[in-house]
Amino acid sequence: MKQTAASLALFTLLAAGCTNGDPSMNDTNRPTPPVAARKPHTLTAHGHERNDEYYWMRLTEEQRNAAEPDAHTREVIAHLNAENAYSDAMLAPVKQLREDLFKEMKARIKETDLSVPYREHGYWYHYRFEEGKEYAVHVRRKDVPDAKDEDFLNENLLAEGHSYFDLGDFEISPSNQLVGYSVDRVGRRQYEIRFRDLATGKDLPDVITNTGGGCAFADDRTVFYPRKDKTLRSYRIYRHVLGTDPATDVVVYEEKDPAYSCDVFRSQSDQFVIITTESTLSSEHRYLPVAHPMEEFRLFLPREEEHEHTVMHVKAHNGVPGKWYIVTNWEAQNFRLMECAESDTQDKRKWKEVLPHRTEVLLEDVDAFRDHLVFSERKEGLTHLRIRRLSDGHEHEIRFNDPAYVAYTGTNPEWDTDKLRYGYTSLTTPSGVYEHDLNAATDVLLKQQEVLGTFNAADYASERVWVPARDGVKVPVSLVYRKGTKRDASAPLLLYGYGSYGHSIDPTFSSGRLSLLDRGFVFAIAHIRGGEEMGREWYESGKMEHKLNTFTDFIDCADHLVKERYADPKRVFCMGGSAGGLLVGAVVNMRPELWKAAVAEVPFVDVVTTMLDDSIPLTTGEFDEWGDPKEKEAYDRMLSYSPYDNVKDASYPAMLVTTGFHDSQVQYWEPAKWVARLRDHQQGDAPILLHTNMEAGHGGASGRFERLKEVALIYAFLMEQAGLVK
């Protein structure tokens, strides 16, 4: 289902694909895939019956976490382990290649490294990586002469003894004396919050479990946090007083609508704690002065259907009263910026327009400073950073030259500054952190990702092309390849896509991807409808009743790249993850002959069954994206493209499907069932493989090196299928 930050981070590492056939083995020595038991199970809705012979693969949360697994659990785990053994056997000929690729990609990473420090509340914060270590060490230094670095969170120590580890977030208390931090050691995104005394380095006895991962201090004793329900929806905000039993924590807000999830944060002005609750298409906010943490939260604006907005508070200064900024889609499909007095939040007639709506520009975000506003905008599929000086209205834009790139504002916690931190990367440019003078409009490169070895950006080229879709719409595609790769229809091409939730897949640099490009691959990103690259309408024309556009756009992009000779027509690969895995599943059903192979990571493929089951995490919050199949029209529409329900007798391409046993976004049984059904209907001899990480969730393996092993798995499979393995 929805692809979150952790799973999206893998995109910068991955970008692999696969292919038809298995040239390294003949029929006499080829391993035999496991055969899943078929157990009839009838699902009925709207008078329509579906037989799901692999429904039995589901396990409840209790079964998955039981100290002593029952017979059913043992059967499921045995099947997943058998699938892993089969995949290992099929990939045995490229075992050495996997190891070599891992070493190759790891060798490009500077193991001992430092991030760029940022200043907040009198301290400089950064993190460092140490040679051979998987995780970061978080460091701060007081902003005074001769101050020494203080390590305050060492993720490597926190991860000891655990096969998976994720530091969800950390927040420093107002006095700078405490840090609240959250950890997940399973991969289920159920975070445990602890608090550390920064003077002693010791944790306080307070431990809060089953949280959403974030927290917000009102003062050094009072902290607010979200907790999850049985479907892993953040549904309540609690108030905790340090030193008290978390069992006595008070619920300050409960979101009763199952389509909404809530979170809490401290405003940049440091004057309010803000609760935000959101569904796919609506949002609502409440705020509480930090000086009065025991009072009730105040409603910013009553909830309105399909009104999405974010709020930012600006404190009073130099005789100017405090106010709120609101990024809103109220009468503005592509969003606009409004402002209002602190007391006028609930009367939109008193809101004042700061930046108007524009049909050709999507307003994605705003950063507010004392005398400047920075607008993050998207136009013709590319990101733009535009600065407005408030004292005189003067504007300028930061200019970028790559044909396909992404620019974004970075960590900017301090409001009273005329410096902006921003990041920049492209398909050929390693990510860099810049400091932009908001008045002089000048830039200083503070740090750029170092790629060790022989990397030279000049050896690679990127392009941006516009593909005519079958209905006449032009779809942007970003491409990268090593110079010297001929455009003569001889190169293997990997096409990556997502196309859901209005999430834009940006053309970022990946040092791991060099292993593909150096072997002759062309890599392309299809910015298909369902994303938001071309504005809000681009998203809306790729969802609900328009979802088919997502799939046909992707196919049209592949056909166009073949026609324009970027790709060998016999070596076209596709890849996507999560909702992008749904994309992969749909296009291999629609055009199985088009793809040499497909990679589907943690794929959302059992659309109808999942969306009918509101006990599964995230389902109820997804109705505005996919529809509610309890309504017949939505049921019929989703059934028409659901990959699992549309498997047919066909010569499917070679496929590598990945999942995580603890995945909270797309349950492991969706890809497991899908693979079993695909094999039942496979008319060709291309292998269909399932790899389950039994110790991870939606984002795959944790650790900066461990996750490279998953990348190497995909790349080795891809290269073998492309005929590049001798």
* Active-site annotation, residues: 578, 663, 698
Residue 217: CB atoms within 10 A of its CB come to 24
CA distance 170 to 154: 12
Nearest CA among 381, 378, 385, 391 for reference residue 409: 385
- On the CB side of 662, CA atoms within 13 Å amount to 19
CA distance 470 to 644: 26
Burial, 126: exposed, middle or buried (Cβ in 10 Å; 0-12, 13-18, 19+)? middle
Q: How do beta strands 405-409 and 395-398 pair?
A: unpaired
Q: What is the DSSP letter of 653?
A: P
**Pair 515, 543: CB distance under 8 Å:** no
- CA-CA-CA-CA dihedral for 473, 478, 483, 486, to nearest 10: -30
For 452-494, the three-class secondary structure string (H helix, E strand, C coil) is CCCCCHHHEEEEEEEEECCCCCEEEEEEEEECCCCCCCCCCEE
> Which uninterrupted H or E stretch holds 624?
helix 623-626
Assigned token pair, 411 = 């960590």
Assigned token pair, 597 = 């192979």
Q: How do beta strands 191-197 and 178-184 pair?
A: antiparallel
Q: How many helices (H) and strands (E) does the chain have?
A: 14, 39
Q: Is 657 left (phi over 0), alpha (psi -120 to 50) or beta?
A: beta
SS3 of residue 28 by DSSP: coil
Q: What is the DSSP letter of 348?
A: G
Nearest CA among 400, 402, 361 for reference residue 538: 361
Could you write out the DSSP letters of every residue in 269-289? Answer: TSSEEEEEEE-SS-EEEEEEE
Residue 620: CB atoms within 10 A of its CB come to 19
**Pair 263, 214: CB distance under 8 Å:** yes
SS3 of residue 290 by DSSP: coil
